[in-house]
Amino acid sequence: MARSAAAALANVDLNLLVILRELLREQNVTRAAERVGVTQPAASAALARLRRHFDDDLLERTRGGYVLSPLGRRLAVQVEPLCLGLERLFAPEEPFRPEISEHEFTIMTTDYVLAAMGESLSRAVHDAAPGVRLHVPVVKGRLPTDLPETLRTLDGIISAPKAEFKADELRGQELFRDRWVCVVDAANPVRDRMELGDLERLPWVIPNHPDPQYPASSPLAPLLAMLGTRPRVAVRVDSYAATPWFVAGTDRVAVMQGRLAAGFADRSDLRIVACPGDPPPIVEVFWWHRLRSDDAAHSWLRAMLDTASRSLRPGP
C-alpha cells in the first residue's frame, strides 16, 4: 500500500500545488498567474491539467465570474496547510527578528476580547515590531466546526474553553478572566443584585448566538440550569459591544461580561447590577495547533499576548 501511494505521488507534478492554491484563493486565472509569476496561458494550461486530474471543474463559470465547485471548496481548505508545510520544509531557516519582520499573524476572536485587550495588543506589537501585521477575523455566531483543522491555517483563536478545544492537537494559554453582570435600563425597578425570578420574567438580549435560545454549551449554562424556564429572547445581535443598545429604554436584560459592561458605566440610561447565582467566571484562552508550538515567530506572538493581557489579570 505504501509503495503504491508513493508511486502515485511520484506521478503528480507537485508544481501544480502552487498554482492550485492561487487559483482557489483568487478564483481568477489572470490574478492567479500574476501571483505565481507565470503567463495567463500557462495558468490556464495548469487549470486544465488540474481539472483532468481531479475530474472536476474546480472553478465554475457564472455571470459574475468564477466560483469554486464543491470539490474546489474542500481542496481550498486542504491545500493551505499543505503548501504552508512545504514552504517551511524547503525555506531556509532564519531566526525570527521582530524588529525587522513583516510577518502577518491571523488571530480569530470576538469583539468582546478586542474591547478588553485589542488596543493593548496592538500597541505591544507596534512597539516591538512595527512591520508585523495583524489579521483579526471577528467571530459572529459559532466558531468553525472543525477547530483542529481551522487552527492549521490560523495562528490562533482567543475563546472561552469549549469541548471542541479538547483535542490532542491543540494547545492553550490562559490570558485573562472576567465576571458576568446584568445590564438593564436605568428605570428598571430590579434590585442591585437581580433575582433568578427577574431573569425568568424579563425578556433577554443575547449576543453572538445563532439559535433563538441559549444552547446547552453556553458559558452561562450553570446559571441557565438554575432557571425554571428558558430565557425569553427578545433580541439577538451578532455583537457583544452592541448589546446595551437594545436594553436602553426597554424592560429587557442582558447578561454580559463585566469589562465590556464597564465601558457603558457612564451612561445615565443604563444600570449594571450583580448577576444572581454567582455564575462561574469567564475564562479567555489563546488556542493554537501544536505544530506551531516550537515556531519562533509564534512563540513571540504568545509572549505579546501575555504582555497585552497582563493588566487584566489579578496581581499576586
Q: What percentage of residues in the chain have a pLDDT greater than 90?
A: 44
Residues 243-298: pLDDT tens digits? 889 999 999 999 989 998 988 888 899 999 999 888 889 999 999 999 999 999 99
Sequence spans of domains, the chain: 5-90, 104-177+282-311, 180-274
Q: What is the pLDDT of residues 102-134, one digit of tens each?
A: 999 999 999 899 999 999 999 999 999 999 999
**Chain center to CA of 88:** 24
Supply the DSSP symbol for 112: H
C-alpha span between 204 and 234 (Å, rounded): 6
- Residues whose CB is less than 8 angstroms from the CB of residue 310 and which lie 6 or more positions away in sequence, other chains included: none
Question: Do the two domains 104-177+282-311 and 180-274 of this chain adopt the same fold?
Answer: yes
> Does domain 5-90 sit in CATH 1.20.1260.10?
no
pTM of the model: 0.67
Specify the fold of 180-274.
Answer: D-Maltodextrin-Binding Protein; domain 2 (3.40.190)
The architecture CATH gives domain 104-177+282-311: 3-Layer(aba) Sandwich (3.40)
Q: What is the pLDDT of residue 9?
A: 57
Strand order across the 282-289 sheet: 133-135, 104-108, 156-159, 282-289, 170-178
Task: Compute the distance between CA of residue 24 and CA of residue 50 in angstroms, rounded to an integer.
Answer: 11
Out of 9-13, 24-28, 125-129, 162-166, the most confident range is 125-129
d(CA 25, CA 308) in angstroms, rounded, equals 32
